[in-house]
Amino acid sequence: MQRKSSRSKRTKPKNKILKISLLVISMLLLTVTSYGAYAFVKFKNAYDSSKVDLDREGNKSDLREEDVSFTKDPISILLLGVEDYSSKAENGRADTQMVITLDPDTSEINLITVPRDARVNIENAGEYTGIHKINAAYNYGSITGYGAIKLQLETVEKFLNIPIDNFIAVNFDGFRDIVDALGGVIIDVKEDFWEDNIYDKKRIEFHKGEAHLNGEEALAFVRMRYRPVNATYSREERQRQFLTATINQAKSTNTIFKIGQIADILGKNVETDLNPKEIYALQKQYLNSKNLSVKTLDIQGEDQYINNVSYYIPDMESLEKVSMKLRNILELKEENFKTNADIAR
């Protein structure tokens, strides 16, 4: 009898704990459900503000014979960092251009930085059609009404001789604010250097070793190109470091609690032709993958002054090698190499 009494006494706390647990779980489910609805509304609003239609036939690159599937086929995306602070958000330039390929079978991302000063022939630019730096395509597309992103994307396609399936463009304010919303990024700085802060014109110092960078510091880190150290610690290498660090930070569990803030930033500062289903597929396939790996490709070349203008002249053998590598990743047919790069001396 005593044991029975003891047992019944222990039952009450268990029942109480069970009820409290169920209450907590119910509250958590309600919070998650409510937050999920909130996040959906936030991202829906952000998407509506960011959506850009490239007016492509069949909604695919002209260099694609068939549509591609995000979950089944390797794809390519153009990432643009747009400088518009000096032109009051009008007729800016593509300060940073990176092309990434994503392979759903391997969860592998390959990244190539397109030199912003590469000398190329820009087509479909009206009176501006001709030889320019590749990043000028964005500006000329805007001025002529052809479409800033459309002309920039098509120019990069011809430079690399690959189809580009989608794009994401972010301006400097968006870059800064997204990094801050993520809580900054951790970068292994390889050499000492400095760069001016574009917002307050003060010098930002970078020292060799691990550094936790906020938005303005990260922007200065990826933009520096005129200091002597750029010859040994290139802008392209720093941009790749930043992208890898950002992906790692975005995979953090804390990111979900900042989703509303990030959505607001995206809506104001980002343009893309990705639809919500494709964005979800990317997040599920790559950010959640334990096997995610990021590899980089380089286009060798040299800086040259031609008619008093500084250009980056790509080494054609290196450019062809990169192009063929990308075409292989994207499972494209073999063809003779062609490019809009101009190497006139």
Name the phi and psi angles at 212, rounded to 5. -100, 110
Q: Is the pLDDT of residue 145 over 70?
A: yes
89-119: per-residue pLDDT in tens?
456 778 889 999 999 888 888 999 999 999 9
Which of the four pLDDT bands, split at 50, 70 and 90, describes residue 20?
A: low
Residue scoring higher pLDDT (307 or 17): 307
Give the pLDDT of residue 11: 46
Q: Is 118 within 8 Å of 341 (Cβ atoms)? A: yes
The residues spanned by each domain of the chain are 51-182+252-329
The listed range with the strongest mean pLDDT (14-18, 250-254, 259-263, 330-334) is 330-334
Fold of 51-182+252-329: Nucleotidyltransferase; domain 5 (3.30.420)
Indicate the pTM of the whole model. Answer: 0.79
Average per-residue pLDDT in the chain? 83
Question: What's the confidence (pLDDT) of residue 256?
Answer: 63
Q: What is the pLDDT of residue 253?
A: 53
pLDDT-derived band of residue 16, with 50, 70 and 90 as boundaries? low
Per-residue pLDDT tens digits for 176-200: 998 998 899 999 999 999 999 999 9
Least confident interval from 127-141, 161-175, 254-268: 254-268
Look at residue 321 in the predicted model and tell me its pLDDT: 97
